[in-house]
Structure 1
C-alpha cells in the first residue's frame, strides 16, 4: 500500500479543490494521501468527506514555512495535529497574515513595471485560501507578462529579484515544538532541495531532531541525491521516519500525484505518534 504524504489544494497554492485532489489520488491507485496546504486546515472537512466517498485513507495535515537564524527557509509538514490547538493556531494565523502583507508588497513592486493590481491578484485566490507567490505568478500569467508559473518564478519572483519581499517566520524548532504540543507529527519537507536555495547544515538538522522532529521527506523530486543521503544518514542515527511524497499542486507544478510515495508501515508508525486527531481510514 502506498501513500502520498504531501499534496496541496486551492485552499493554498494548488489549482484543484480538496475533493479533486482526493479524487486524483484515488484515480492514481493510491491507498492514501495527506492534504498539507500552507498554514491552514480549512480544506480538511471537504477532503475528509471526499476520502470517505472514495474509500481512501487521509492524513489531514499542513505545511508550515519557517526560517532559521541565518535566513534559510525550512518547510515543515505537520500531520494529524489538533486544528484547534491555541498555540499552533495562533502561530499559523500570524503566518497567513504575514503572507498576505508580503504578497501585497510584492504586487506593489510589480505594479511599477507591469499592469498588475491587487484586484487582479485576488481573482486568482480561492475564497479563504492562504495567499502566496504562486497566486502572484498566476496573475502575471493572466496579464500576459509570463507564460506560466515557472517562468514567473524564474524571472520575477525568485529571492534575488528586485520585486521580492522576504517574510518573518518562526524558527523551525519553535514550529516543531508547537506541532508536538498540538498532538501532531512534524516531518521536514524537501530539506535538501538545493535548487530552491540554501539548505540547512547537519548541525541545524540535529537541532530540529532535538526539538522533536519525527521524520524527513527524503524522496521528493527537489532533493538532490547527495542531499537524500544526508537525510537518510540523519534518519538512521536518530530512528526517524523516512517518507516520500509528490508535493502535488495540480496544474500549478509539474509534480505528478503519487510520483513518490511512503510505504504503509511507515504511515502506521507516523500515525502511532499522533495524539491530536486520528487518520481517516476506509472501512
Structure 2
C-alpha cells in the first residue's frame, strides 16, 4: 500500500476502470467490489469517457460508497503516451466532450488496423471478435484485442498479449489521436475539474516523462501526481515526491484497478483524506464528491 494509505482514516482509491472502457466489471459491479474491499471513497476514471458516471452514482448510493467522478485522458508527447486523470469535471462541458469524442473515434479505427496487421502475420483474430468484447458505449482499446485473444483460446491473460503483441514497441502497434498533455490540462481546468498525472514515471511505458513537461503542465493548471501506484518503485516515488514538493503539487495513490483485466487490486495504493479534500477544493464545484 502506498504511503498515503497508511494510518487511520477512510480508504480512498482514486483510479479505477469499468467495462465502459477497459475494465472487466460494470460500474455497478465495480462499486460493489469496492464496498466489499473496504473502500470508503472510489473514483471511476474510465478512458476518455464519462458514460459510466450515472450507473456508478446509483450503485455508490446503494452501497454507501463515496464516489469521485473522473476520467482518464490519453495524451501524446514525443511518441510517448501520458495519461491524465481529470477529477470532478463538468460532464456537459462541450470543449472537453468534443476532445474525448475525437479520441474515442480514433481508437476505433486504430484497433481495426492493428487487428488487420496481426491477422496478416498469422495471429488468429478477426475484428468482429474484438468488437464482441466492447460493451455498449464503451471506449475501445487494446485490452479488448487481448480479451478477444483470451476468448478464442490464444492466450490466458491480458498481460500475455501486451508482452507479445500489443505493446507500444510492437510491430502491430498503431497510434491514435490523443491531445497534447498541456492542452489536456487546460481542457480539464476549463471544465471545472482537477488534473492529476496518472503513474507519471511508470516503468512499463516507452519514453520518459520529462520534468520540464510537468512544469509546463503545472503552469497550465496541473494539481497533482499519482505517486503511489503499482508501476512505481521506490525511485519513482522519490522522484514524484521531490517534484511535487518543488512545484507545489499534491501526491495521490491509487490501484488503477481493471477487475480481472490486470493484477492490480482495489486499495493496494490509496490517497490521504486531506489530499482528497484539496482536490475537491480545487474544483469548480459543478461536479462534487458524492458522499455516502
Give the deviation of 1:165 after TM superposition.
0.7
> What's 2:4 paired with?
none
**TM-score of the pair, normalised by structure 2:** 0.94
In 2, distance between residues paired with 1:221 and 1:197? 17
> What's 1:252 paired with?
261
> What's 1:4 paired with?
13
Matched, 1:278 2:291: no
> What's 1:115 paired with?
124
In 2, distance between residues paired with 1:92 and 1:58? 21
- Residue-pair matches, total: 281
> What's 1:178 paired with?
187
In 1, distance between residues paired with 2:148 and 2:132? 8
Structure 1 segments of 4+ aligned residues over 3 angstroms from their partners: none
> What's 1:236 paired with?
245
Give the deviation of 1:221 after TM superposition.
0.7
Consecutive unaligned residues in structure 1, runs of 5 or more: none
In 1, distance between residues paired with 2:157 and 2:65? 32
SS in 1 for 2:113: helix
* Map 1:1-283 → 2, pairs under 5 A: 1-68=10-77, 70-112=78-120, 113-275=122-284, 276-282=286-292
Deviates more, 1:233-242 or 1:253-262: 233-242
Aligned-CA RMSD value: 1.0
Deviation readout 1:209-244 (Å, 9 max, x if unpaired)? 111100000000101321221111111112211100
Contact residue 150 and residue 158 of structure 2 kept, 8 A = yes
In 2, distance between residues paired with 1:200 and 1:156? 24
SS in 2 for 1:138: helix
In 2, distance between residues paired with 1:34 and 1:111? 37
Contact residue 192 and residue 224 of structure 1 kept, 8 A = no
Deviates more, 1:44-53 or 1:272-281: 272-281
